[in-house]
A and B are shown apart, each in its own frame.
Chain A
Amino acid sequence: MKYSGQTYALSYDPLDQQINFNGIFRLAGDEEVANVFAYLTTIHDAVQGTLRLSFRRLRYINAEGMRTLSLFVAFARGRNSLQLLKVVASGVLAWSVKLLPNLSNLWERVEFSIYDQNFYESQQLIEDTAFIPLLRNQTRVLWPQERLLFQHHGLKRGMRVADICCGCGDVPLLLARELNPSFVVGVDHSEAAISYARTLQAEFGVHNTEFQRGDATALMLDDHSFDFVSCRLSLQIFSRPEQILRELLRITRPGGRIYVTGEDYDLIVAHPEAAAVRHTYERTAALAADLGIDLRNGRKLYGMLNDARLENIRVDQLVVDTSNTPRDDFAAMIEQWRNFAAFSVGKSLNLNDEEHEQLLAGYDAHLRTIQRPNGYTTWTTLVCSGQKPPST
């Protein structure tokens, strides 16, 4: 069941017993208020238990919109049939954080929550400024090869490109600078990362790029509006990556391509000190799993794209090693990994001193391998893309 106004759409999802508010809900007059109210109350009367009102994708509301919601709460209170009315706001939309809590004062069964505070386990760690140098170092070693892979996977001059979970923005900016797309948008949920991206954009002097703070599971981007949509090294942090994939699909035009990359810690090899290095990455993957991060998700990407009915799927391994990458750059990245694993992750999992020391020692072994003139080591990521069927 749907109700649309000029600038907004309300839709009901019976699976979640949830009414989704999308767009700009600035209501104009009595008639519109009455229509929306009738829509809401009709759904209300068909629901038992908990009804959710989700404002995750509602960009704006006006006073009449708020008053309509308050009338609806009064109606529900009068009917007294719901157990709970859950009001779900988004932490990136100022209005929703400031206005919606007022509804809880109108009826004790209204429960207000902000869905994207602590919405994945590792959020505090990943959305921190301290994480940015790690991403920058990764990009430094990946870009020379990934630049070519982007082209090989279908990114062409003049395309409209979206990079979802873009982190600190370096990759969208490099794309814009070097591969001549017509427009690139980078979206990330981290305030720190987006602010960094904007500074970097000014430094790069790139104009056809925009950054948005937003949520990959509820993007404020139009359907079918991009030719090429990427999501790099990010699906591993989500417990339900297919939710993100659904959004990537939605914003891709029919015939456009979706490009995702992932990790595989089993593919990190080193010599000498093979055993110490292997043990370290197994340990890191296990710790990450405790935080809901899957550091072996790369091998699952093919199946995910296939399940999503993408066509012409292409997979590549991007192998960064000590022969194709400057050793100092490789080492700088591993040092960031070491600190992130031992200090950020370690601290949040309360590792004891012994475990902490072991982890540090393992990364130090890896660093020694890299610095040895005869040492050899790899970091492999999986690059996978598919085409959205032209007919959808």
Chain B
Amino acid sequence: MEIGIFAEADMASAFSFGIALPSLDLQRQWGRCNLLANYVAEYVAYQFPQREWAENLISTVTNEFLEAIALLAPPQSELFIRCFQLPTTLELELEHSLRPDLVTVYTSFLAELAGSLDEADYFALLTSTDRPAVAFNQFGLAMLVHDFSARIAARLDPQTRRICVRVSLPTGEIAA
């Protein structure tokens, strides 16, 4: 199953970054989402002239996904994070397993995000008095699309329930 469009990695990318870890690390100590997001951001933002701006953006985006994954992934599964640059975008890729009960909600939410996010839906999530009934931070992901101009694509292998999510950030945003 495929949502949105995947661009191929570009050999000319100024860097390529990859890291693997057990989802359990993030689940045991949730503060690691923050640490890891900041680490990825510091590494990836390094070659941008407006480094602080880039770092701030990349960390915010990465953190929301890591927080989502901490809730979505079964404990005993691996998470891969990759990052590379295309001519007009920065690509962040997160590959992980999904808990069986969350496959449908998550993929349909991603499909919604990959389509066009309704302004009213965004504000409904922002102002919801309760945390989302489904177990991941929907607003966080919506925020990336609405406020950071992120584009989302995903590929799911229904057999293994492994999903690969691609977040594309326009370089224009990073060099704002």
> Known: A62-B140, A198-B51. Is A70-B127 also a contact (CB below 8 A)?
yes
Minimum distance in angstroms from B132 CB to a CB of chain A: 10
B50: nearest residue on chain A (CB-CB)? Answer: A191
Complex Cα–Cα for A6 and B31 (A):
9
Interface pick from B2-10, B58-66, B95-103: B58-66
Minimum distance in angstroms from B49 CB to a CB of chain A: 5
> Known: A63-B64, A63-B137, A66-B126. Is A94-B57 also a contact (CB below 8 A)?
yes
Further 7 A-B residue pairs, CB within 8 A, beyond A64-B140, A66-B143, A98-B57: A30-B131, A63-B139, A67-B126, A71-B127, A102-B126, A105-B123, A195-B50
Report A-chain residues with C-beta under 8 Å of the C-beta of B51. Answer: 194, 198, 213
Within 8 A of B (CB), among A35-75: 59-64, 66-67, 70-71, 74
Complex Cα–Cα for A383 and B117 (A):
57
A218 within 8 A of B: no
Minimum distance in angstroms from A114 CB to a CB of chain B: 12
Within 8 A of B (CB), among A5-49: 6-7, 24, 26, 28-30, 33
Query: Footprint of A on B, CB under 8 Å?
Result: 30-31, 33-34, 38, 49-54, 56-57, 59-60, 63-64, 67, 123, 126-129, 131, 137, 139-140, 143, 147-148, 176
Q: Is the pair A64, B137 in contact by a Cβ cutoff of 8 Å?
A: yes
> Known: A66-B143, A71-B129, A102-B147. Is A7-B31 also a contact (CB below 8 A)?
yes
B142: nearest residue on chain A (CB-CB)? Answer: A63
Query: Footprint of B on A, CB under 8 Å?
Result: 6-7, 24, 26, 28-30, 33, 59-64, 66-67, 70-71, 74, 92-95, 98-99, 102, 105-106, 191, 194-195, 198, 212-214
A213: nearest residue on chain B (CB-CB)? Answer: B52
B67: nearest residue on chain A (CB-CB)? Answer: A62
Report B-chain residues with C-beta under 8 Å of the C-beta of A28. Answer: 30
B63: nearest residue on chain A (CB-CB)? Answer: A62
Minimum distance in angstroms from B44 CB to a CB of chain A: 14
Report A-chain residues with C-beta under 8 Å of the C-beta of B137. Answer: 62-64
Report B-chain residues with C-beta under 8 Å of the C-beta of A195. Answer: 49-50
Complex Cα–Cα for A212 and B56 (A):
13
Report A-chain residues with C-beta under 8 Å of the C-beta of B140. Answer: 62-64
B34: nearest residue on chain A (CB-CB)? Answer: A26
Minimum distance in angstroms from B52 CB to a CB of chain A: 5
Report A-chain residues with C-beta under 8 Å of the C-beta of B30. Answer: 28
Report B-chain residues with C-beta under 8 Å of the C-beta of A214. Answer: 52
Q: List 11 A-B contacts (CB under 8 A).
A: A24-B34, A26-B63, A61-B60, A62-B137, A63-B143, A92-B52, A93-B56, A94-B56, A99-B143, A106-B123, A106-B127
Report B-chain residues with C-beta under 8 Å of the C-beta of A213. Answer: 50-53
Complex Cα–Cα for A368 and B51 (A):
43
Complex Cα–Cα for A7 and B140 (A):
19
Complex Cα–Cα for A99 and B64 (A):
13
B144: nearest residue on chain A (CB-CB)? Answer: A63
Q: Is the pair B56, A67 in contact by a Cβ cutoff of 8 Å?
A: no
A91: nearest residue on chain B (CB-CB)? Answer: B53
**Among candidates B49, B60, B126, B139, residue contacting A94 with C-beta atoms closer than 8 Å:** B60
Complex Cα–Cα for A351 and B129 (A):
57
